[in-house]
Amino acid sequence: MAVNLPPLGDLHPIDGIELGTAAAGIRYRDRDDLAAIVLDAGAVVGGVFTTSAYRAAPVLVASERLGKARALVINSGNANAATGERGLADARASAAHLAAKLGVAEHEVLPFSTGVIGEFLDMAAMRQGIDTALAARSANGWEAAARAIMTTDTAPKAVSVNGRVQGTLVSATGIVKGSGMIRPDMATMLAFLGTDATLSPSAATSLARDLADRSFNRLTIDGDTSTNDSFVVMASGRAGPTIEAPQGDAYADLRELLASLVVELAERTVRDGEGATKFVTIVVDGGRTAAECLEVAYTIAHSPLVKTAIFAGDPNWGRFCMAIGRANIEGLDPDRVNLDLDDVPVARNGLVADYYVEEQAAAVMAKDEFTVRVHLGRGQASETIWTSDLSYEYVRINAEYRS
C-alpha cells in the first residue's frame, strides 16, 4: 500500500565496501534476513542512535565502536531488545564471530538488529547466516542488503548519488528500513550510508548527525521511537583528501551531496509507512524558533484524529486547530494562526477564511500527496516534516505482527 514509492534505480558500488546476505531463518522463511557489510582497512564509521531509554543490546554495543571499523552485521526479525545481559552477550558474540571469520579485531565489528522486541537471538542461526553472507558478498550487494533488513516494509529502499567534493568525484549509496514505530530522535530506523569519501571518525559522526537532522529526524509515521534506531555513515576513504573536522568547504560539499540522498530515503520511508495511503508534508512557519515549529508540526502529525481525517479525505479543519492548540507553545495566540491545505486557504487569524470553499479543501485531501501549511504569526522560523495517515491496514498489520 505504499504511496507513489519510486522503483529502485541503479545502485552504485562503493569502492572499499562489500555486502552479502543470507536466509538465516531468524524469523522469516524463504527470504534473506541477515546482511554482512565488510569494509576495507582504513574505513571509518560514524553514527547516531535512538534516544529511547530502552536501548537494544546491539545499539549499546555499536555505539561504543564508532571510529575505525571493518564490518557490520545486521539481522531482521528479532530486535534483541529487552534481553538483558544475555542480549548484550549475543550482540557481542555475533560481532565476534564475524570478526574471527575476517581476521579483524572484535571491536571493529558493529552489530545491528530490528524486529520483535523481547526475544533472544538464535545464535546458531546467526553464525550460519554470517558464514553464508560472507561467502556471498560483493560490491553490488546493496539491493540484496536493503531487502534483507526489511521487516514490515513492502519494498526495499535504496538510493545512490555521485557528485564533486572540491573537485573530487565522490559516490554514495544508502539503504533504509522502517515502516512503523517511526518517530526518530537523533537517529532513524535502520539506515546505512556508504561513501568512498575520506573522513576522520569525528567528522563521520558529525556528518551522520547533520544528515539525520535534515532528513530522518523530520519524519514520523506513528509517533513511536524504536529501541533500535540507528543511522550509520561508512566512509571507505578511497576518494579525496581526509575531511578532518565538520567544517570547511569540503565538509559542506559532502554534506550537501549526501543530504539529497538521505532526504530521498526519508521520504521513501514515509511513502512505505505501515498501511499508508497518503504522503503529507507539514510546513510550519512564523515561529519564534525552529523547535517550536517542529513541536507544532509533530503534534499535528501525531494526532490520531488528524491522521484519520487525512485517511478519510475529510477536511475537518477543526482537528488541525485542535492539534495546533495542544502543542506545548507558551503564549501561542490563535488569533494569529493561518492554515492552508496546498494553496486552499482554510483559516485566517484563527477563524475560517472568508473565502474558504470546503469542496476545494476536500479535493486536496483526496489526493495521494498534499501539504498542510501552518503560519503561527510570531516569528521568522520555519520547519518541514513528512508524515502519513492512519488506516485500517495499519491496525491490521500491527494487530497481526507476531501472528
Name 159's Cβ contacts closer than 8 Å, sequence gap at least 6: 9, 11, 173, 174, 261, 264, 265, 268
Task: Write the DSSP symbol of residue 261.
Answer: H
Q: What is the pLDDT of residues 359-385, one digit of tens each?
A: 999 999 999 999 999 999 999 999 999
CA dihedral 49, 52, 58, 60 (to 10 degrees): 80
Closest CA to 383 of 369, 393, 373: 373
Question: Mean pLDDT across the stretch 3-24?
Answer: 96
Q: What is the pLDDT of residues 59-86, one digit of tens each?
A: 999 999 999 999 999 999 999 999 999 9
pLDDT for residue 185 is more than 80:
no
Instruction: Count the neighbouring beta carbons within 10 Å of the beta carbon of residue 359.
Output: 8
Confidence grade of residue 187 (pLDDT, cut at 50, 70, 90): very low
pLDDT of residue 222: 52
pLDDT of residue 186: 32
For 82-131, the DSSP string reads S-HHHHHHHHHHHHHHHHHHHT--GGGEEEEEEEETT----HHHHHHHHH
pLDDT of residue 220: 75
Q: What is the pLDDT of residues 26-58, one digit of tens each?
A: 988 889 999 999 999 999 999 999 888 889 999
Q: What is the pLDDT of residues 147-169, one digit of tens each?
A: 999 987 889 999 999 999 999 99
Q: What is the pLDDT of residues 211-269, one digit of tens each?
A: 999 998 888 755 556 678 899 999 999 998 899 999 999 999 999 999 999 999 999 98
pLDDT of residue 126: 98
Of all residues in the chain, the percent with pLDDT exceeding 90 is: 82
For the chain, domain boundaries:
17-271, 279-399
Pairwise CA distance, residues 188 & 266, whole Å = 9
User: Catalytic pick from 114, 151, 152, 188?
Assistant: 188
pLDDT of residue 81: 94
Q: Please state, rounded to an integer, the average pLDDT across all residues of the chain.
A: 93
pLDDT of residue 221: 58
pLDDT of residue 225: 61
Q: What is the pLDDT of residues 335-359, one digit of tens each?
A: 999 999 999 999 999 999 999 999 9
Closest CA to 342 of 317, 364, 320: 364
- 17-271 CATH pick, 3.40.50.720, 3.20.20.10, 1.10.1660.10, 3.60.70.12: 3.60.70.12
Pairwise CA distance, residues 231 & 209, whole Å = 9
Core vs surface per residue 77-93: b (16+ CB within 10 A) or e? bbbbbebeeebbbbbbb
pLDDT of residue 375: 98
Pairwise CA distance, residues 68 & 234, whole Å = 10
Where are any strands of DSSP class E within 244-320?
A: 279-287
Q: For 279-399, which CATH class?
A: alpha beta
Q: Which three cell numbers stand for residue 274?
A: 505501515
Question: Mean pLDDT across the stretch 194-223?
Answer: 89
> Is pLDDT larger for residue 276 or for residue 297?
297
In whole angstroms, how large is the CA radius of gyration of the chain? 22
Question: Mean pLDDT across the stretch 102-129?
Answer: 97
> Is pLDDT larger for residue 122 or for residue 240?
122
Instruction: Assess whether 188 carries a catalytic annotation.
Output: yes
pLDDT for residue 133 is more than 90:
yes
Contact status, residue 56 vs residue 79, Cβ threshold 8 Å: yes
